[in-house]
Amino acid sequence: MSVIMHTLHVDLGERSYPVYIGRDLLADGEVLARHLGGSEVAIVSNETVAPLYVAKVRGALGEGRRVTEIVLPDGEQYKTLHSLEHILERLLQERHSRSTTIIAVGGGVVGDVAGFAAACYQRGVGFIQVPTTLLAQVDSSVGGKTAVNHPLGKNMIGAFYQPRAVLIDIDSLHTLPARELSAGLAEVIKYGLICDPAFYAWLQEAMPRLLAREESALAEAIERSCSLKAAVVAADEREGGLRAILNLGHTFGHAIETAQGYGAWLHGEAVAVGMLLALRLSVARGWVDAAEIPVLEALLRQAQLPLEIPAGMTPEVFLDLMGRDKKVVDGCLRLVLLRGIGEACVVADATTAELDTLLQDAVARAKSRC
């Protein structure tokens, strides 16, 4: 039987929507029905998640609806314009009207591409996020960022497009591979670092229970993460300022993902290493006590996340890829740093020399740990 454990609200005026967190929500037809625009539905998933969960969602939709299932290949390398085109083509072939609701069932890749398709199809149709990875449950399903990658840069083509609802079913995490759970924990740790020192402290104690997928610990981590994200998004939906803090570690992380080839490093793994680099830079600036470095290292290690940059990545590669980041404005690289644990800030004054020193040091550390 489905149980709603928490209902949060993303407060965006007429684009406001609920985030339900609970158990067996995939089978909850009543909750889904509240957010459908009409009788036409397209479920977008991938070939790994579809056999696990799409039948459940389809069953929850009940009789009397026209449902199209669109199954993408699995992987970050398929977060492309080609996949977007495939979704749009299927919607056209099946003659879906503007009252269609697209339901994304899967991780952040499926959610990001399906959301972009919802934003584009007939200039915008209804969209519901049913995230099935921890990363998607605590981050990508909330906030309305949709996108596809381009060989020249990650998430470079997309739209802000809010879902009508987010249904987070904690039970779906039981089938998630351990490496993917860890990748999601990187984004959970991010919230503590940027804006909630008490949550950061709680994570240090709760990490074994989270890795063991204890329901109450997962529910608490997801609720806390989504609440923090909802507050930031409500204050700055289109990233005019504050929302950039959600990208702690992401500028370094996106460079790692792009350099390694999409899919080789998981997004959360790259973000973990990126957060450590951002903390090291904050320490070098004298903003954070150096004692915080081993604390974060221990937490990332506990969460089974990498600490070092990939072998072979040079400062030159980092600087080139970081220079193409979306956070470059008027030729000026913006980085999220910490003024303290729980206190993120965005800086636009990082010099090439400063970054080169940080990255040379990272290369040396990676070599010494090989």
Evaluated on CA atoms 103, 11, 158, 91, the torsion sign reads positive
Residue 267 annotated to the active site? yes
Q: Which entry of ligand GLY, ligand NAD, none binds 243, CB below 5 to 8 A by partner kind?
A: ligand GLY
Which of left, alpha, beta for 44 (phi over 0: left; psi -120 to 50: alpha)?
A: beta
CB of 247 to ligand GLY, least distance (A): 6
Among 76, 180, 187, 292, the active-site one is 187
Nearer to ligand GLY, 235 or 332 (CB): 235
Q: Which stretch binds ligand NAD (CB under 6 A): 28-36, 86-94, 103-111, 235-243?
A: 103-111
Binding to ligand GLY, residues 129-168 (CB under 6 A): 139, 143, 145
Nearer to ligand GLY, 60 or 271 (CB): 271
Of the candidate residues 107, 126, 249, 253, the single one contacting ligand NAD (CB under 6 A) = 107
Among 250, 280, 326, 327, the active-site one is 250
Interaction pattern, residues 4-43, with ligand NAD; x per rule: CB under 6 A: ----------------------------------------
**66 near 93, Cβ under 8 Å?**
no
Nearer to ligand GLY, 31 or 114 (CB): 114
CB of 244 to ligand GLY, least distance (A): 8
Q: Which stretch binds ligand GLY (CB under 6 A): 127-135, 239-247, 287-295, 356-364?
A: 239-247
Task: Examine residue 253 and tell whether it contacts ligand NAD (CB under 6 A).
Answer: no
Q: Which entry of ligand NAD, ligand GLY, none binds 247, CB below 5 to 8 A by partner kind?
A: ligand GLY
Residue 123 annotated to the active site? yes
**200 near 192, Cβ under 8 Å?**
yes
Number of residues engaging ligand NAD in binding (CB under 6 A): 29
Which of left, alpha, beta for 146 (phi over 0: left; psi -120 to 50: alpha)?
A: beta
**77 near 103, Cβ under 8 Å?**
no
Q: What distance in Å separates the CA atoms of residue 231 and residue 147, rounded to the nearest whole number? A: 22
Q: Which entry of ligand NAD, ligand GLY, none binds 57, CB below 5 to 8 A by partner kind?
A: none
Nearer to ligand NAD, 132 or 282 (CB): 132
Among 223, 239, 257, 292, the active-site one is 239
CB of 370 to ligand GLY, least distance (A): 31
Task: Examine residue 74 and tell whether it contacts ligand NAD (CB under 6 A).
Answer: yes
Which residue, among 187, 356, 169, 175, has the nearest Cα to 270 in the 3D structure?
187
Among 79, 86, 145, 327, the active-site one is 145
Nearer to ligand NAD, 52 or 295 (CB): 52
Among 23, 267, 280, 326, the active-site one is 267
Task: Examine residue 23 and tell whether it contacts ligand GLY (CB under 6 A).
Answer: no
Residue 187 annotated to the active site? yes
Residue 145 annotated to the active site? yes
Report in angstroms the alpha-carbon separations of 330 from 154, 243, 322: 19, 19, 14
Of the candidate residues 10, 35, 42, 139, the single one contacting ligand NAD (CB under 6 A) = 139
Contacts to ligand GLY by CB under 6 A: 139, 143, 145, 243, 246-247
Catalytic residues: 123, 145, 187, 229, 239, 243, 247, 250, 254, 267
